[in-house]
């Protein structure tokens, strides 16, 4: 999937709190329909239904 984010593991505890490190696994687990939504409103409604 072209919308997947690369998740990296870090040894430093401080880096685990960075936004990209926290969200990549969650983003990659989303359904393709949610990620490829054509508008923000549709993305939000699909995300609400998924969660």
Distance (Å, rounded) from C-alpha 8 to C-alpha 35?
20
Q: Give the helix, strand, coil percentages of the chain, each rounded to 5.
A: 60, 0, 40
Whether 35 is in a domain gets the answer yes
Whether 9 is in a domain gets the answer no
Whether 30 is in a domain gets the answer yes
Token digits of residue 20: 């990209």
Whether 21 is in a domain gets the answer yes
Q: Is the pLDDT of residue 1 over 60?
A: no
Whether 1 is in a domain gets the answer no
Whether 3 is in a domain gets the answer no
The string of pLDDT tens digits covering residues 9-34 is 666 666 667 887 778 888 889 999 99
How many domains is the chain partitioned into structurally? 1
């Amino acid at each position: 999937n072209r919308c997947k984010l690369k998740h990296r593991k870090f040894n430093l505890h401080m880096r685990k709190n960075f936004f990209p490190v926290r969200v990549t696994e969650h983003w990659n687990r989303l359904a393709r329909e949610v990620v490829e939504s054509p508008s923000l409103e549709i993305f939000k409604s699909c995300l609400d239904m998924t969660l």
